């Protein structure tokens, strides 16, 4: 016999509008073992919480059922409420009468009937719940930040300043990310390098940051508080401990590669640093363009290196890191617009993508900051095409959020650096950030021409060979336009990194339908993920501008601190255990567990589960033919009872 209290929330009218709360309460009172049932306007409010707590004491309740919003919303809140009275927190059951009942029907009869069935199921289940004790584990205070763009840099600096050890893992040979490629930043037009490079340097200098460039995470094991991470240090063929960054090697090197940094607009030496302000200032050899690796002889860099830092024998190495929490800030790619053949990118030399143009503006870029076409001439008219692949059902439905603003920035810089006519082809202008509308107005006054219509096609001009024609419909005048220009800038969709799926799997994240990493809750947990202890920041979560990215990075750092600032933490107690008396030793659990938690004890001929590794999915319990595995909080009896209760009404 248990003593159950049922508490039904109105949630203002959110629930009460389509569920007759009083009727649910009356109904609950008729159910077995229910000793009290009450309703309240807002059960999650302080008076609501006190109502529950008082009833627990008054009626000596040993099970509590709260019928309110989704357990994903307030299960933790109510667990704390009942725990405060001394009742074990796992004796709580949440009934989802809001998200999965009142909000999805407009018929109060139907809503009320479903509410009853759900409460009945919950009562059946609650009777079989057991108190569970959470495991307390030691927390490793170190932090891994993945991605060395502005988000990763900001988070790493913030965390390192609190005295924590931070590992900043970056895939490319330098930190800085996309922001380091930009010339100016909107809407203030302050120079990107001026605000970023001091931060890059601060990372390098910080005694609490271990910067790991040219590295990739290859494996993540463990759980919140105790992650085991393997990082691959890709072979640089330069011993960075010996290298004194004199860069004599880069001068002598005859190898010519393509500079990813300059978006392929320039060449780079086979041994090089990506750009002059790169951090670290130490070079890496690109195997694909190195004369020695290609032809077996050269080794000029080795000859000029006084430090004897060149090492052609270097291999990839693997480093094990232990950490308590992880921030994933892996950034984005721009959509490859070559498949959109109507825009001619990659075929028509006058068509550029946004990042290429960023490099053209940049004084450290391939043209030294001069805006010239590939033939060296200055464009006389330029069209900027918004939403290429974004807001497009055939490609990416989402809005890439920053293109309107950087397109305005481009227009301004074109006006500043050339005497060209500048045209914007847009669907809608979206200027919703602080100072953005003002910036938009400023650019309008700079004699930039705005045409409301998406660029439909770019063709080569028949009349003037070498020039381009932009075809579009001006949706204000409803006229079709054929505009001859010298240069076209495409603003491609911001898309998840090409390897986002791998990263997602490695860190056990979810992704939204566009492939961006998904937050635990869009409003209330925007930086947490479904994996405890792993946080996300920046554009890997969705397109955003630099201020938002930095704000997220700081937020993620704060989230991380809530974990690593304590030396111990409680884990969920909902793990699986084996009842050895009924284990037949078939080892199905061992075969199906993705975490290696079960193992076979040959002496006893039974399986055993290492709870520290168990993540509580319950897979083993379903694979176990004898029901020897008890998936705590989701046991066979509990689930069957709930099914029975739900099917009764």
Partner 1 sequence: MTNFKQIEENLKKEAKKLLEAGSVAVVLAYTKGADEKHPQPFAAKKADDVANIIFNEYCNHNLARYIVRYAPGTKIAVAVKAADSRAVVVLIQEEKIKRENLILLGIPVSGMKNQKTGEIIDEKTTGGLTNPVVYDVLLGEEIHTGKPVSPYTVLEQYEKMDKDARFAFWKAQFDKCIRCYACRKACPMCYCDPCFIDQTKPRWADKSPQSHGNLMYHLTRFQHLAGRCIDCGECTRACPVDIPLYLFHKKVAKDCEEMFKQAAGMKIEDKLVMVDFRVEDSDKILE
Partner 2 sequence: MEFEPKILGIACNWCTYTGADLAGTTRLKYPQNLRVVRVMCSSRINPSFIFRAFQLGADGVLVGGCHPGDCHYNTGNLYARRRLAVTKKILDFAGLEPSRFRVEWISASEGNKFAEVVKEFTEHVQILGPQTKFKIAGVS
Binding footprint of partner 1 on the chain (CB under 8 A)? 582, 584-588, 591-592, 600, 602, 605, 623, 625-627, 635-637, 640
DSSP letter for 238, please: B
For residue 444, the partner it binds in partner 1, partner 2, none, with Cβ less than 5 to 8 A by kind, is none
Nearer to partner 1, 560 or 620 (CB): 620
Q: Is 181 helix (H, G, I), strand (E, B) or coil?
A: helix
Tokens representing residue 188 in the block: 């203030």
Q: Residue 614: which H helix or E strand, with range? A: none
- State the pairing for strand pair 166-169/143-146: parallel
Q: How many CB atoms lie within 10 A of CB 295?
A: 9
Range 61-120, binding partner 2 (CB under 8 A): 70-73, 96, 98-101, 103-107, 110-111, 113-114, 117-118
Residue with tokens 């595995």: 629
φ, ψ of residue 474 in degrees (nearest 5): -80, 110
For residue 582, the partner it binds in partner 1, partner 2, none, with Cβ less than 5 to 8 A by kind, is partner 1
Residue 617 binds to partner 2 (criterion: CB under 8 A): yes
Residue 424 binds to partner 2 (criterion: CB under 8 A): no
Range 589-608, binding partner 2 (CB under 8 A): 592, 594-595
- Determine the Cα–Cα distance for residues 183 and 193; give it in Å rounded to an integer: 7
- Determine the Cα–Cα distance for residues 308 and 292; give it in Å rounded to an integer: 17
Q: Are 167 and 321 in contact (CB under 8 A)?
A: yes
CA angle, corner 134, sides to 133 and 136, nearest 5? 130
Question: Smallest distance, Å, CB 568 to partner 2?
Answer: 24
- Determine the Cα–Cα distance for residues 244 and 615; give it in Å rounded to an integer: 46
Residue 646 binds to partner 2 (criterion: CB under 8 A): yes
For residue 435, the partner it binds in partner 1, partner 2, none, with Cβ less than 5 to 8 A by kind, is none
For residue 504, the partner it binds in partner 1, partner 2, none, with Cβ less than 5 to 8 A by kind, is partner 2
φ, ψ of residue 76 in degrees (nearest 5): -65, -40
Question: Smallest distance, Å, CB 602 to partner 1?
Answer: 7
- Exposed/middle/buried for residue 70 (C-beta within 10 Å: 0-12, 13-18, 19+): middle
Taking CB under 8 A as the binding criterion, the range among 160-168, 220-228, 437-445, 640-648 that sits at the site for partner 2 is: 640-648
Question: Smallest distance, Å, CB 73 to partner 2?
Answer: 8
Q: Are 137 and 569 in contact (CB under 8 A)?
A: yes
Beta bridge partners of 536: 328
Residue with tokens 């590794």: 613
- Determine the Cα–Cα distance for residues 582 and 454; give it in Å rounded to an integer: 68
For residue 637, the partner it binds in partner 2, partner 1, none, with Cβ less than 5 to 8 A by kind, is partner 1
Q: How many CB atoms lie within 10 A of CB 78?
A: 25
Q: Are 290 and 284 in contact (CB under 8 A)?
A: no
Question: Smallest distance, Å, CB 125 to partner 2?
Answer: 9
Residues 6+ apart with CB under 8 A from 51: 7, 38, 40, 43
Residue 582 binds to partner 2 (criterion: CB under 8 A): no
User: x/- string (CB under 8 A) for partner 2, residues 551-580?
Assistant: -----------------------x------
User: x/- string (CB under 8 A) for partner 2, residues 33-72?
Assistant: -------------------------------------xxx
- State the pairing for strand pair 63-68/92-96: parallel
Taking CB under 8 A as the binding criterion, the range among 288-296, 387-395, 469-477, 631-639 that sits at the site for partner 2 is: 631-639
- Determine the Cα–Cα distance for residues 444 and 451; give it in Å rounded to an integer: 12
Question: Smallest distance, Å, CB 608 to partner 1?
Answer: 15
For residue 105, the partner it binds in partner 1, partner 2, none, with Cβ less than 5 to 8 A by kind, is partner 2
Range 305-344, binding partner 2 (CB under 8 A): none
Nearer to partner 2, 257 or 645 (CB): 645
Residues 6+ apart with CB under 8 A from 257: 267, 268, 269, 270, 272, 286, 288, 289
Nearer to partner 1, 290 or 628 (CB): 628
Nearer to partner 2, 186 or 517 (CB): 517
Question: Smallest distance, Å, CB 106 to partner 2?
Answer: 6
Q: Is 460 helix (H, G, I), strand (E, B) or coil?
A: strand
Among 416, 447, 499, 648, binds partner 2 (CB under 8 A): 648
Among 297, 393, 434, 513, binds partner 2 (CB under 8 A): 513
Nearer to partner 2, 168 or 607 (CB): 607
Q: Cis link prior to 495 (omega < 30° from 0)?
A: no
Question: Smallest distance, Å, CB 631 to partner 2?
Answer: 6
Nearer to partner 2, 118 or 422 (CB): 118
Nearer to partner 2, 133 or 647 (CB): 647
- Of 302, 306, 285, give the one whose Cα is nearest residue 236: 285
Total number of residues that touch partner 2 (CB under 8 A): 56
For residue 100, the partner it binds in partner 2, partner 1, none, with Cβ less than 5 to 8 A by kind, is partner 2
Q: How many CB atoms lie within 10 A of CB 216?
A: 19
CA angle, corner 400, sides to 399 and 403, nearest 5? 115
* Interacting residues with partner 2 (CB under 8 A): 70-73, 96, 98-101, 103-107, 110-111, 113-114, 117-118, 121, 501, 504-505, 508, 510-513, 518, 530-531, 574, 592, 594-595, 615-619, 621-623, 631, 634, 636, 639-640, 642-644, 646-649
């Amino acid at each position: 016999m248990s003593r159950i209290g049922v508490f039904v929330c109105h949630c203002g009218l959110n629930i009460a509008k389509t569920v007759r709360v009083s009727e649910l309460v009356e109904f609950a009172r008729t159910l077995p073992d229910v000793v009290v049932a009450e309703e309240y306007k807002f059960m999650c409010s302080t008076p609501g919480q006190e109502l529950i707590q008082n009833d627990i004491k008054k009626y000596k309740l040993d099970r509590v059922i709260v019928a309110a919003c989704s357990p994903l919303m307030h299960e933790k809140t109510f667990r704390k409420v009942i725990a405060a009275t001394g009742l074990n927190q796992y004796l709580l059951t949440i009934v989802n009468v809001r998200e999965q009942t009142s909000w999805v029907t407009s018929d109060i009869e139907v809503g009320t009937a479903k509410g009853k069935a759900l409460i009945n199921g919950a009562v059946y289940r609650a009777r079989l719940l057991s108190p569970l004790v959470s495991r307390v584990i030691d927390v490793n205070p170190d932090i891994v930040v993945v991605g060395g763009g502005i988000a990763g840099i900001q988070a790493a600096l913030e965390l390192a300043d609190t005295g924590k050890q931070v590992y900043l893992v970056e895939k490319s040979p330098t930190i800085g990310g996309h922001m380091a490629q930009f010339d100016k930043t909107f809407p203030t037009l302050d120079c990107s390098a001026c605000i970023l490079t001091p931060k890059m340097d601060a990372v390098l200098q910080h005694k609490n940051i271990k910067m790991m460039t040219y590295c990739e995470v290859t494996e993540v094991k463990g759980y919140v508080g105790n992650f085991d991470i393997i990082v691959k240090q890709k072979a640089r063929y330069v011993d960075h401990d010996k290298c004194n960054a004199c860069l004599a090697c880069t001068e002598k090197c005859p190898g010519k590669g393509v500079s990813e940094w300059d978006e392929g607009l320039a060449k780079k030496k086979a041994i090089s640093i990506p750009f002059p302000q790169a951090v670290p200032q130490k070079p890496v050899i690109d195997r694909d363009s190195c004369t020695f690796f290609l032809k077996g002889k050269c080794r000029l860099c080795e000859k000029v290196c006084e430090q004897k830092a060149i090492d052609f024998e270097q291999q990839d190495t693997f480093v094990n890191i232990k950490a308590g929490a992880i921030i994933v800030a892996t950034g984005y790619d721009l959509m490859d617009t070559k498949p959109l053949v109507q825009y001619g990118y990659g075929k028509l030399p006058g068509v550029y993508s946004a990042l290429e143009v960023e490099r053209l503006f940049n004084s450290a870029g391939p043209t030294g900051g001069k805006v010239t076409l590939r033939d060296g001439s200055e464009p006389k008219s330029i069209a900027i095409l918004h939403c290429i692949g974004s807001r497009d059902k055939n490609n990416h439905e989402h809005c890439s959020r920053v293109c309107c603003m950087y397109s305005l920035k481009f227009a301004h810089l074109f006006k500043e650096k050339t005497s060209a006519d500048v045209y914007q082809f847009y669907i809608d202008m979206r200027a919703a950030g602080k100072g953005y509308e003002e910036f938009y107005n400023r650019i309008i006054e700079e004699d930039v021409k705005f045409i409301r219509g998406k660029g439909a096609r770019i063709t080569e001009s028949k009349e003037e060979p070498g020039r381009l024609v932009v075809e579009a419909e001006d949706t204000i005048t409803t006229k079709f336009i054929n505009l001859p220009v010298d240069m076209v800038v495409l603003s491609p969709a911001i898309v998840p990194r090409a390897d986002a799926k791998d990263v997602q799997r490695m860190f056990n994240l979810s992704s939204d339908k566009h492939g961006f990493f998904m937050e635990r809750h869009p409003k209330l947990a925007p930086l947490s993920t479904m994996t405890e202890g792993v946080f996300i920041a920046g554009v890997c979560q969705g397109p955003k501008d630099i201020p938002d990215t930095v704000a997220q990075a700081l937020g993620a750092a704060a989230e991380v601190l809530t974990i690593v600032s304590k030396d111990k933490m409680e884990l969920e107690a909902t793990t699986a255990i084996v009842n050895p008396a009924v284990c037949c030793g078939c080892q199905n659990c061992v075969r199906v567990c993705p975490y290696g938690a079960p193992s076979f004890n040959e002496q006893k001929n039974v399986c055993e589960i290492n709870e520290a590794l168990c993540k509580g999915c319950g897979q083993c319990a379903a694979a176990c033919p004898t029901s020897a595995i008890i998936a705590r909080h989701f046991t066979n009896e509990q689930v069957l009872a709930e099914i029975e209760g739900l099917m009764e009404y």
